[in-house]
Amino acid sequence: MSLEWEQVVVDAADPVSLGRWWADALGWKVINDASDEFEIRPEPDRLPGLIFVPVPEPKTLKNRLHLDFRPDDQEAEVERLLALGARPADVGQGEQSWIVLADPEGNEFCVLRERR
């Protein structure tokens, strides 16, 4: 038996807007632009992807699952993401080598330091 990781499902107040934000942030392709299941992937035939689905309630607490990204240049990537509409987030991480940001709907993610 084997499993293939297909998707991460993200609850969203506005799946299309949040999905487009993540597509821009990651440079990914929109696979499905339906308002009830907006899907993006690195390439049409490449997994895993992100699917954004509508939920009526707003996000209220820290995510129980979040994404980590390792850029070539942490400082430049954080600046780029902030310019796209991300914002700094404090989840009680203290002083760390990574930077926690939140997407436009408040979902936290980490931008790690470059590999050495």
Both tokens assigned to 74 = 């942490």
| Tens digits of residue pLDDT in 13-67 | 999 999 999 999 999 999 999 999 999 999 999 999 999 999 999 888 888 899 9
- Which overall architecture, per CATH, does domain 1-58 show? Roll (3.10)
pLDDT of residue 93: 77
- The Cβ of residue 2 has, within 10 Å, a number of other Cβ atoms equal to 3
- The Cβ of residue 83 has, within 10 Å, a number of other Cβ atoms equal to 8
pTM over 0.75: yes
pLDDT of residue 62: 84
91 by DSSP, 3-state: which? coil
The b-or-e profile of 89-113 (16+ CB within 10 A means b, else e) is: beeeeeeeeebbbbbbbebbbbbee
Rounded Cα distance between 16 and 3, Å, is: 28
Rounded Cα distance between 76 and 94, Å, is: 21
- Residue ranges, CATH 3.10.180.10, the chain: 1-58, 59-116
Residue 116: pLDDT band by 50, 70, 90 thresholds?
Answer: confident
| Tens digits of residue pLDDT in 21-31 | 999 999 999 99
**Relative orientation angle of helices 15-26 and 74-84, to the nearest 10 degrees:** 150
Mean pLDDT of the chain: 94
Superfamily of domain 59-116: 2,3-Dihydroxybiphenyl 1,2-Dioxygenase, domain 1 (3.10.180.10)
Rounded Cα distance between 59 and 65, Å, is: 13
What percentage of the chain carries pLDDT values higher than 70?
A: 100
pLDDT of residue 36: 96
